[in-house]
Structure 1
Amino acid sequence: MEEKKEEAGASSYRYWVREATADAAPPPLPRKLNPHDIAHSDSSNPPALGSLWNRAGTWEEKSLTKWATDRLKELLVSVGSLEFSSGTAEIKDVSRCVGDAFLITVRNKKRVGYTYEISLKFEGDWTFEDNKKKVKGRLDIPEFSFGELDDLQLDVSPIEDSELLQQQKQRICLDLKQFLEPIRMKLCLFERELKDR
């Protein structure tokens, strides 16, 4: 009878182990996967989008903000200059570019998105009644996001120049609104590049 008690007490099955014992397995250590590990794994599954560790294609989010901010600045400065009936203007600099961009992999499908606000500095020359005026100012593009470029708005900041008449300021603002279409084209290019990342 004593032997049966010893056999029952020496069972190898445990529901909960509170202390590490000599016969307990060590916890697994994480290690970085390399292409060789992936090539020798189960090749019956199609390759997953995203990281190597995410073979099931579950939720994965990656920030593209640094790349997107740099690319937006580069594209918008390259808009160049426009000629109007009474003058010319050129985008000189991107003074403000605030927002974020991201790539999400969910259910093995890739989705991209972004939200930004931008301010652009411009300089231009306008001629009113044989008087040439140098004008500087700012163009603001309020919040815009992926897939909504048809609703893009361009606001001209008030032009601070006491010599300009109100009628001349209105004319300059109307001229500057013509930058909307070239800016929209650059942002469409940005969206295409973002999708390809």
Structure 2
Amino acid sequence: MTEAVVSSSSEKEEQKGASYTYWVRKITEDAAPLPVPHKLSPQDPQSQPNSATLGSAWNRAGTWEEKSLNNWATPRIKELLVSVGSIKLSSGTAKVEEVTKCIGDAFLVIVRNKKRVGYTYELTLKVKGELNLRGEKKAVGGHIDVPEFSFGELDDLQMQVKLNEDKDMLPQDKTEICNDLKKLFLEPVREKLLQFEQELKDR
């Protein structure tokens, strides 16, 4: 009696095991073969960029992406301002010798698949000139500070002029030179920054 029960139980386990392996084998045999990876050629549609989408490949929806343009913008601003050239003043000439401070950020933002650019900067321009003061030629130097300005705000561009210390220069001469530098450099500097702004838009 005991042997019959054992035999019956053993047969059930063997049938169960056989059934299990049958279905595993069946699924494996019927399953589709795994795809073989291959390199995309330039003609494949998957390799073609989506021309209707701006920004990076990962941002196909064009939702939000911000990119710093400082590596291009900062040296470009300096290059443009140094190219202002010589400006004729009432008593001589002066030029931007160097941009000693150019602090800020320029960036490109993609929002809802639309491109927007912006920037905020502040500048210091080192100026050097040769003036005729009371019949005597004199070399003068100083700097022009341009306080913080942003995209679309160049109509309100401001300048502050300071001359280097010169004990031989009369106060009224200093005032006249500062006013000249401020008045005559404002428009050429603004034009160069407008050029920068347009180049930024075109990127």
TM range (shorter): 0.7 to 0.9
* 2:137 corresponds to: 132
Alignment of 1:106-145 (within 5 A): 106-145=111-150
User: Which letter does structure 1 place at the counterpart of 2:161?
Assistant: V
Question: Alpha-carbon deviations, 1:83-138, whole Å to 9, x = none?
Answer: 12211101100111111110000001000011101101111011122112210110
Residue 38 of structure 1 and its aligned partner are, at CA, apart by 8.4
CA distance in 1, matches of 2:181, 2:196: 22
Matched, 1:169 2:161: no
* 1:17 corresponds to: none
TM-score (norm: length of structure 1): 0.78
User: Which letter does structure 2 place at the counterpart of 1:124?
Assistant: G
CA distance in 2, matches of 1:181, 1:163: 30
Contact 1:159–1:169 (CA under 8 A) maintained in structure 2: no
Matched, 1:102 2:107: yes
CA distance in 1, matches of 2:125, 2:44: 47
* 2:53 corresponds to: 48
CA distance in 2, matches of 1:42, 1:158: 58
Gaps of 5+ in 1: 1-33
User: Which letter does structure 2 place at the counterpart of 1:187?
Assistant: L
Percent of residue pairs bearing the same amino acid type: 61
Alignment of 1:173-184 (within 5 A): 173-177=178-182, 178-184=184-190
The alignment's C-alpha RMSD in Å is 2.5
Residue 165 of structure 1 and its aligned partner are, at CA, apart by 0.6
Q: State which drifts further: 97-106 or 127-136.
A: 127-136
Structure with the largest fraction of helix: 2
* 2:191 corresponds to: 185
CA distance in 1, matches of 2:166, 2:75: 32
Question: Alpha-carbon deviations, 1:155-194, whole Å to 9, x = none?
Answer: 1024311111110001101110110000000000000000
Tell me: CA distance 1:103–1:74, structure 2 relative to 1, closer, same or farther (3 Å).
same
Q: Aligned to 2:130, what secondary structure does the other structure show?
A: strand
TM-score (norm: length of structure 2): 0.75
Gaps of 5+ in 2: 1-39
CA distance in 2, matches of 1:49, 1:135: 50
* 1:195 corresponds to: 201
Matched, 1:160 2:165: yes
Q: Aligned to 1:157, what secondary structure does the other structure show?
A: strand
Q: Aligned to 2:129, what secondary structure does the other structure show?
A: strand
Q: Aligned to 2:200, what secondary structure does the other structure show?
A: helix
Contact 2:41–2:47 (CA under 8 A) maintained in structure 1: no
